[in-house]
Amino acid sequence: MVPFRPFYVIVLRRSLYHLPLLLVNMADIKPIGKALFLREEELRRGIEMMFFAYRDFTGEADSILAEQDMGRAHHRAIYFIGRHPGITVSDLLSILNITKQSLSRVLSGLMKDGFVLQKPGASDRRQRLLYLTETGIALEARLTALQGRRFAAAYREAGAEAVDGFQRVLRGLMEQDTLEQMKQQIPPTSDA
């Protein structure tokens, strides 16, 4: 039997449910202007914009992947194998942060369909090194060009200062271990 609760208590409890998660300790924030961007509505707008931007950013690529009977996990694997030819399965697992079983399913399909090939390591034969085939390189280039054009247009419209700010915000959203992983995996930009 569910205890009776007046309607206003239910509404109040539901509206306050997320409130403690959105409170910002102002002592932890460096003051910038009037800090209007720290209001709950601005935080929610940022969260929503991230969701919508991700949806639109991946939408075009999703349609190309669907033609190949692939999903986003395939895309991420293809992207990072293309970015780091000869990457080990264990390093790819670390980047993608998925289970071995999930990665195994994705890689099996990519190898079967001729997008990825696996070679043993030169010094350690137990290592499995991953490379894109010509077909994989073509698909990765097509997907990256599509998403790169979207980034280039947004960067051009926003300007260099906004791009720098955007990248600082993204770094601020990442966990420290992810930032460290990026430093090890991703080549620095030419101006860094």
Local structure of residue 85 (DSSP, 8 states): T
Interval 120-167: pLDDT, tens: 888 888 889 999 999 999 999 999 999 999 999 999 999 999 999 999
120 pairs with which residues across the strands?
128
Which structural domain range is residue 44 located in? 38-172
Q: Is residue 191 part of a domain?
A: no
User: According to the model, what pLDDT value does residue 189 have?
Assistant: 57
Q: Grade residue 14 by pLDDT with cuts at 50, 70 and 90.
A: very low
Domain total of the chain? 1
Question: Per the structure block, which two tokens stand in for 18?
Answer: 């997320």
CA distance 70 to 61: 10
CATH number, domain with residue 57: 1.10.10.10
Q: Is residue 25 part of a domain?
A: no
Q: Is residue 190 part of a domain?
A: no
For residues 22 and 76, which has the higher predicted lDDT (pLDDT)?
76
Q: Is residue 84 part of a domain?
A: yes
Across the chain, mean pLDDT equals 84
| CA-to-CA separations, 165 to 5, 155, 160, in angstroms, rounded | 47, 11, 9
The whole-model pTM stands at: 0.75
